[in-house]
Amino acid sequence: MVDACDVVFHLAAAVGVKLIVESPVRTIETNVHGTEVILNAASRQRKRVLITSTSEVYGLSDQIPFREDGNLVMGATTKGRWSYACSKAIDEFLALAYHREKKLPVVIARLFNTVGPRQIGRYGMVVPTLVAQALEGEPLTVYGDGRQTRCFAYVGDVVEALLRLMDHPDTAGEVFNIGSHEEVSITQLAERVVALTGSPSPITYVPYHEAYAEGFEDMPRRVPDTSKAERFIGFRPRTSLDGILREVIRDIASRREARAALPT
């Protein structure tokens, strides 16, 4: 399949905090071995490859905003939560090694919380989960104290950036942050979902040890420096968080209506 195509966008991975905590072996093997297969196949004919990495690789770094050349600060190996971040960091090391040693044209994109219509909350994705809870009139569940912050990027803006990275002649062998600059705490996110849906739902807080495991660690802030992507491809996120939430609300509401219309 790789031999027959022009370029490869490697988007697949084991993702979601729930899966990572419950199945660390599956997480590590899927991410590392899967990427190894793709790079090995692409290297036979030097097919251009884009590897999607993650903001998780920055770990516990406090160098905000995160820069591509900044240090990666991982948590202890005894905490399985960091297996995903480490596996994606290995993906990056492996991809860059293929570039240096085998001259494979590889581009790495570190994505920061890509969201949009049709995303599901099954693996712990916070935006569709909160929106679905609000539309059902259920309590919105926020893990931890809700002060942890994230930046959510619209899938349409991200896809455009990935295409531009692949088309640019000078991006091979480089790493790029792709995400939004609109930082919001998870409590603020839940409040905006309630306001935009007009839901009567309350916000409830679930301690990390109840949601995942004792000693679970989270990243307090996740904010990208996207100046490198702006310099290379003119990347600037165009869609606001409220715009993203309205799109997700419309999508989930329409699917709820479609299910309700089905004959019982």
**Tokens describing residue 59:** 């770990």
Distances (CA, A) of 80 to 9, 25, 47, 161, 170: 28, 9, 34, 31, 37
Is residue 115 within 8 A of residue 152, CB to CB? The reply is yes
In sequence order, which residues have a C-beta less than 8 Å from that of residue 36 and are 6 or more positions away? Answer: 94
Provide the terminal-to-terminal Cα distance of the chain, rounded to the nearest Å.
Answer: 43
d(C-alpha 116, C-alpha 98), whole Å: 33
Half-sphere exposure of 247 (CA within 13 A, CB side): 15
Which of the residues are catalytic? 84
